[in-house]
Amino acid sequence: MMLRANGLEFACDVAGEGPDVALCLHGFPESRFSWRYQLPVLADAGWRTVAPDLRGYGGSSRPSGKAAYHIDHLVDDVAAMFDALGARRKLLVAHDWGAAIAWVVAMRRAVPLDGLIIMNVPHPTVFGELIAHYWPQRLKSWYVAFFQIPSLPEFLLRQRRAEAIANAFLNMAVNKAMFPPEVLEVYRQNALQPGALTAMINYYRANLGLLDEVAAQITVPTLMLWGEEDKALDLKLTENYGRHVRDFTLQRFPNVSHWVQQEAPDAVNAAMLAWLREKRLVPAEMRL
């Protein structure tokens, strides 16, 4: 399905129907395909589940210029997609860069959310406080500085049919069997589209000030799911959420990498369903 919102076209995978919409936001260097295991489960739980390619990715519109990928536009995309879908209840499910966007949506109260599910990306303030003094996380975040270099990251990531994109999954994954060649090929092909790599990296270039976002306390019920073997984000980033999120639930998954919803889909889906029942975010007959 193509969804028009905020002046752009978004390629979406959809499961389920009805006015209660779960919007699933992917990360870097992924696409809507990363939610293939979650769409039918959330749809069975009563949510019309929509997974778009974010702007610049896959089959969605690819505006030019770094400024087009600033967090203000990314937040506006989310609000406009919910509006275009005619959403009554609104659930935001997000991973990696999608989760960074989702945190800001909730902090700004840009959308009246009913629930927020975050996967393997910390609250911006938590990240900023840790990286200010914790060298292990500074070292893990080296790639953010590398991505600021013009053109070179795109050139290197494009080589050998975007082999580095495939390796981003394989090198980080614990269970590499979840990323067979046919799965990696989807991400390689997306990255090889004209202009796609620049658009994807512009998320990093346009948002260096994201850690300065004013951190109003989040009041929407929030579930954070975290693969403990994340090589890019330290486990300490799951701590100290009490003053940032009023209703916060954390579930960590040992022996699972950053790619949590793809690498451990059964465990992730079970955790989401249990939390949705607890927060009364599924139909009454499913709350037992």
The rounded distance, in Å, linking the Cα atoms of 11 and 67 is 22
CATH code for the domain of 137: 3.40.50.1820
Nearest to 5 by CA among 64, 65, 86, 91: 86
Domain range spanning residue 35? 2-286
User: Mean pLDDT of all residues in the chain?
Assistant: 96
Pairing of strands 115-119, 90-95: parallel
Q: Residue 288: what pLDDT?
A: 57
Residue 200: CB atoms within 10 A of its CB come to 27
pLDDT at position 287 over 70:
no
Nearest to 199 by CA among 79, 29, 51, 49: 29
**204 is a catalytic site residue:** yes
Looking from the CA of 6 toward its CB, the CA atoms found within 13 Å total 20
List the catalytic residue out of 57, 203, 204, 241. 204
Q: Residue 236: what pLDDT?
A: 97
DSSP assignment, residue 111?
S
**20 is a catalytic site residue:** no
The rounded distance, in Å, linking the Cα atoms of 163 and 134 is 31
For residues 258 and 233, the answer to whether their CB atoms sit within 8 Å is yes
Residue 254: CB atoms within 10 A of its CB come to 9
The rounded distance, in Å, linking the Cα atoms of 94 and 23 is 8
Pairing of strands 21-25, 48-52: parallel
List the catalytic residue out of 96, 114, 230, 234. 96
The rounded distance, in Å, linking the Cα atoms of 51 and 34 is 9
Tokens standing for 22?
């779960």
Q: Residue 143: what pLDDT?
A: 96
Looking from the CA of 90 toward its CB, the CA atoms found within 13 Å total 21
Count of structural domains within the chain: 1
pLDDT at position 284 over 90:
no
User: What does the pLDDT look like over 87-145, one tens digit per residue?
Assistant: 999 999 999 999 999 999 999 999 999 999 999 999 999 999 999 999 999 999 999 99
The rounded distance, in Å, linking the Cα atoms of 179 and 109 is 36
pLDDT band at 168 (very low <50, low <70, confident <90, very high): very high
**pTM over cut 0.95:** yes
What is the three-class DSSP state of 38? coil
Name residues whose C-beta falls within 8 Å of residue 20's C-beta, 6 or more positions apart in sequence.
46, 47, 48, 87, 88, 89, 90, 91
**53 is a catalytic site residue:** no
The vertex-180 CA angle with 272 and 33, nearest 5°, equals: 45
Q: Residue 153: what pLDDT?
A: 98
Q: What are phi and psi of 128, to 5 degrees?
A: -60, -40
Nearest to 49 by CA among 98, 85, 4: 85
For residues 167 and 143, the answer to whether their CB atoms sit within 8 Å is no
For residues 49 and 43, the answer to whether their CB atoms sit within 8 Å is yes
For residues 8 and 78, the answer to whether their CB atoms sit within 8 Å is no
pLDDT at position 38 over 60:
yes
